[in-house]
Structure 1
Amino acid sequence: MNASIIRYRREDVALRQRHWQNEALQKGSGATYDVHNPANGQVIANAAAATAQDCKESIEAAEKAFGAWQFATPGQKSVLFKKAAELVVSDSYQDKIMKAITEETGCTASLGKLINVDLCHNVLHEACEMAYQVKGEILPSDSGAQSFVQRLPMGVVFVISPWNAPLGLSLMTVLPPIAAGNTVVLKTSEYSPAGQLIAAELLKEAGLPDGVLNIIHTAREDSGPRVAEIIAHPAVRKIAFTGSDRVGSIIAAEAAKYLKPCVFELGGKAPAVVLNGANVEAASRAIVSGAMNHSGQMCISTERVIVQRDVAQQLIDNVKAVASKIKAGDQSKTDAKLSCVFNPSSAANIISMIQEAVADGAELLVGDLKAQGAFVQPHIVLGAKPGQRLWDRESFGPVFTIAVVDSVDEAVELANASTYSLTSALWTNDMQQAFAVSRRIHAGKVIVNGPTYGSESRFHQQGMGGSSGYGTFDVHNFTYTQLVSFQSPESQKAYIVTDF
């Protein structure tokens, strides 16, 4: 394991920079950056800021480890992942995870456990199965020949994972390439280095060989140059990124210079479509939950609600009643249900988006139009429309818009009036209607009679291009196919020139 890492020393809130190579902590360059608690702005740590040399060493460690790891058997990998699944729910790891997650992201304890402990336990078990999914096929061949296609790992994969579910999303992103026989260099978010570093500690204790997973941290101002340097390295064969569409576009352009393939899970502006006859009470609870969990800081958060007129007023009354009871506050001081957003700038941007929509004719149903540091209270807006930032762009905040329509066709048209296509929800009690309408919604996932997030097919969350990205985090996206053809004297007759 090779990592530019941080170490918490709780007594003095100091962190020592080290690089983790061959199971030994080694002195690094000494450059660090501050990590802040978003709820109160306090510095909770100093994290190692990787240099170009640190990145180069991490890639070289991954390249070296690939030589042996590509031949690891499915059984060996499955045993390792199962051991990690047992470790992640142990008391010692849960305490470590929750301490890092709540301090670095401000996440509520209940949600933090769900998306960083329970989720990891599940995806590690799924990775056990994934290790057996690297399969080939026999192809029809010419007479006397025999051909088959085999799947082979690509080599070193560069992974960038975000802060909003630091451990959960890190494992969801690194496990598919590792299960397929690749090695990984993971760059953490500058906001959550400790939470993401636990992925390396967990897998190493489970038996992952040194160099298979390498973790680096970068200061915000260094991230661009370090990412470009890693992408440019000839040993890096593929890039996997989870984050915003803005940054995804930058990474795609950088990778295009070297014709390197990418997998992107980017932003979301998930619509929830509520049709006449739907269970409005259940839809209301799911919508508010889908919009407000983690203060809306998930790519699968519900951001747009499109409701048919016959049930619109009932839905509006219900969501107002539920959302009005929810308050945001410092988790260390109150029993507030909502956490802060990840920094004050994000909070200010969320309020600005709502203010612009209201100034352009939308109606504020719930909310105070105020940002208090990194805290934003729940907001509901009626009548936002395409062309407004609140409709067009991912807010990543505790806010959703409601649009009232008359027909199913109008509902589908508005649901698709977005460059995002990650996930969606459809509410109807007519199953024939559910089948007919779901296929018309331009989204990688349509959840019928449920929230826009769900636990099904965790590794198959995908956008359909545009602002939500493309590709899936599965073994097929981190392997290439190789044709192997065995020729016999008989089959060679058609190809070999004999008259010379």
Structure 2
Amino acid sequence: MAEPKQRHTHKNAVQPPTKLVLKPPPPSAFHVESSAPIRSEVQFVLPGTRPEAALAAVLIVMSASSPSFTVPLFIGGKDCHPDKTFDVVSPCDGKVLHRCGSAAVTDASAAIAAAGEASKTWRRTTPPERRDIFLKAAEIMAGRREELAGYMATETGAPRAWCDFNLDVGTDMLKDIAGRIPTLEGSFPALMDSNTSAIVMREPYGVVLAMALGNTVVFKGSETAPRTMSAIVSVFREAGLPDGVLNFIVHEPSAAAEITAHAIAHPLVKKINFTGSTQVGRIIGRLAGENLKPLVLELGGKSPAIVWEDADLLLAANQCVLGSFLHSGQICMSTEKILVHNSVKTEFLDKVVAAIDRIFPGSGDAPTLVNSSAVAKNKALVADAVSKGATVVFGNPDAQETSGTRLRPIVVDNVTEAMDLYRTESFGPTVSVIGVGSEDEAIRIANDTEYGLTSAVFTEDLRRGLRFAREIETGAVHINNMTVHDETALPHGGAKASGYGRFNASKGLDEWVRTKNVTFKN
């Protein structure tokens, strides 16, 4: 592949980038330096791209500092060590970080049974009791921020600032959930028969909100970051969460199909939450349908950002760069394609290149992706696009990095429908640029995808922005902000093949409760 043409920019005209939502670190902090280490309701939770006075648990997790350490499962309030284990490998250098116990079907059954038993008492706890545990968990998570962020950076290869940001958001969400626990309300509707009255009760089931509302959880963690997840579970343990309310299992990849199918079919499992790829989401959805289990899915995305001719181009460039390359594009909400008005496309791309140079400088090692397959996927998408007429305007996919899991930002211009990159989610540091000439064309291309998670529009005309927002088929449209935007006050979720259901805020609360009608004679 030919070396990309370098764009000439006036760097002294570039102003500081706009800040991230929820008070993140400055964008320059996201650069990775070369040595960065970086009731009987049971909710079954599958992993995505997040509990003894638990001193013993804390010490166990903190001792995980060598390949000789094995991350345990956590079932019924006890650490469990299966006979079978697997290596957890650093995405930065391929070295073994530690080992992890690999759950079998019997372990999954034990976790579900423990959750079912715990629900008998947990569902009867009062809202203030549950609220206090969540507030304590938020306090502990904040106090253990250094430890938890270190685990996350080491296992995922993410920049330390990104790990800190995620933990800060997690702490805020725990506080928000704690505040919502006492707000669950039923209703007392008037009936046609004046001699009959009714109460509509709301009974909970779900993930973190489910625990807050009196349900129990089996958390099936990711095999790529089990130490991080085990440590977060220990936060709830330390906060006083009773045994069996939160159970943690993880397994080697080859066991996924058997354990997942078994857990979904288990009669005690009443609802499933899955965050991950659309491909796996379809499998989960089929299994849930066969067993008549409701579920919430947060899946893949191909998030578009529309940059209009009246946009603040510096703002748009900064936000599109952040949205595309935070965490090396490994975020479900990452900006995957930028639709820019033809009249400002050249100027906008100049500002994009300058923003990348400033926010994600090229010194030191390239950022790390989760594995070498992710790098290969991005390189293949770029190669296909270039072979069909696209142009790489920033980055060099052929550059030799210090490991096969590293890749720097890539911007590909003149992407068309004939290219794989047009439709395929890269889930990496690759973004497409497409010129458009009308609102109708921009909307058509933005919606020309199976996905519909989030989107962005950059314009100084709010009415135009709202017109776009009404027509774009996504769960969120952010006007003059990047596509990566999630906070406690906003319900989060997608449309189309990006899944269904919502997290956060009152809508997220509603997702995890069901109604029950109780009638009685006056």
User: What TM-score bracket applies, with the shorter chain setting the length?
Assistant: 0.7 to 0.9
Aligned partner letter, 1:57? A
Counterpart of 1:68? 121
Counterpart of 1:248? 281
Contact 1:133-1:475 within 8 A present in 2 as well: no
Deviation at 1:308, TM superposition (A): 1.1
Contact 2:333-2:454 within 8 A present in 1 as well: yes
Aligned partner letter, 1:191? T
In 1, the alpha carbon distance for the partners of 2:159 and 2:339 equals 29
Q: Are 1:218 and 2:248 counterparts? A: no
Deviation at 1:30, TM superposition (A): 1.5
Q: Which of 126, 144, 149 is residue 195 of structure 2 equivalent to?
A: 144
- Structure 1's 425 and 44: CA in aligned 2 closer, same or farther, altered over 3 A? same
Query: What residue ranges of structure 1 are gaps of 5+ in the alignment?
Result: 158-173, 489-500
Q: Are 1:481 and 2:512 counterparts? A: no
In 2, the alpha carbon distance for the partners of 1:71 and 1:25 equals 26
Counterpart of 2:135? 82
Counterpart of 1:377? 408
Q: Which of 173, 176, 182 is residue 132 of structure 1 equivalent to?
A: 182
Give TM-score scaled by structure 2 length: 0.84
Counterpart of 1:205? 238
Counterpart of 1:472? 502
Counterpart of 1:300? 333
Contact 1:306-1:405 within 8 A present in 2 as well: yes
Deviation at 1:112, TM superposition (A): 1.0
Q: Which of 97, 100, 108 is residue 148 of structure 2 equivalent to?
A: 97
Counterpart of 1:15? 69
Contact 1:7-1:16 within 8 A present in 2 as well: no
In 1, the alpha carbon distance for the partners of 2:237 and 2:196 equals 45
> 3-state SS of the aligned residue for 2:208?
helix
Counterpart of 2:162? 111
Q: Which of 205, 212, 215 is residue 182 of structure 1 equivalent to?
A: 215
Poorly superposed stretches of 4+, deviation over 6 Å: none
Higher relative contact order (CA 8 A, sep 6+): 2
Give TM-score scaled by structure 1 length: 0.87
Aligned partner letter, 1:383? N
Contact 1:278-1:429 within 8 A present in 2 as well: yes
Counterpart of 2:370? 342
Counterpart of 1:443? 474
- Structure 1's 484 and 446: CA in aligned 2 closer, same or farther, altered over 3 A? same
Q: Which of 384, 388, 397 is residue 360 of structure 1 equivalent to?
A: 388
Deviation at 1:376, TM superposition (A): 0.9
In 2, the alpha carbon distance for the partners of 1:17 and 1:281 equals 46
Counterpart of 1:461? 492
Contact 2:474-2:495 within 8 A present in 1 as well: yes
Contact 1:340-1:375 within 8 A present in 2 as well: yes
Deviation at 1:237, TM superposition (A): 0.4
Once the two structures are overlaid, the 10-residue window that deviates more, 439-448 or 140-149, is 140-149
- Structure 1's 438 and 389: CA in aligned 2 closer, same or farther, altered over 3 A? same
Query: What residue ranges of structure 2 are gaps of 5+ in the alignment?
Result: 1-50, 52-56
Contact 1:8-1:14 within 8 A present in 2 as well: no
Q: Output aligned runs, 1:360-439, within 5 Å.
A: 360-370=388-398, 372=401, 373-439=404-470
Deviation at 1:312, TM superposition (A): 1.4
Q: Which of 42, 48, 70 is residue 101 of structure 2 equivalent to?
A: 48
- Structure 1's 24 and 213: CA in aligned 2 closer, same or farther, altered over 3 A? closer
> 3-state SS of the aligned residue for 1:97?
helix
> 3-state SS of the aligned residue for 2:109?
helix
Q: Which of 212, 218, 224 is residue 191 of structure 1 equivalent to?
A: 224
Contact 2:216-2:246 within 8 A present in 1 as well: yes
> 3-state SS of the aligned residue for 2:188?
strand
Aligned partner letter, 2:156? T
Cα deviations by residue, 1:408-446 (Å, 9 ceiling, x for unpaired)? 111111111111111111111111212222111111111
How many residue pairs were aligned? 458
Once the two structures are overlaid, the 10-residue window that deviates more, 284-293 or 135-144, is 135-144
Aligned partner letter, 1:145? T
> 3-state SS of the aligned residue for 1:365?
strand
Once the two structures are overlaid, the 10-residue window that deviates more, 192-201 or 368-377, is 368-377
Cα deviations by residue, 1:314-356 (Å, 9 ceiling, x for unpaired)? 1111112222456688xxxx755x6200000110011101111
> 3-state SS of the aligned residue for 1:137?
coil
Deviation at 1:143, TM superposition (A): 1.3
Counterpart of 1:498? none
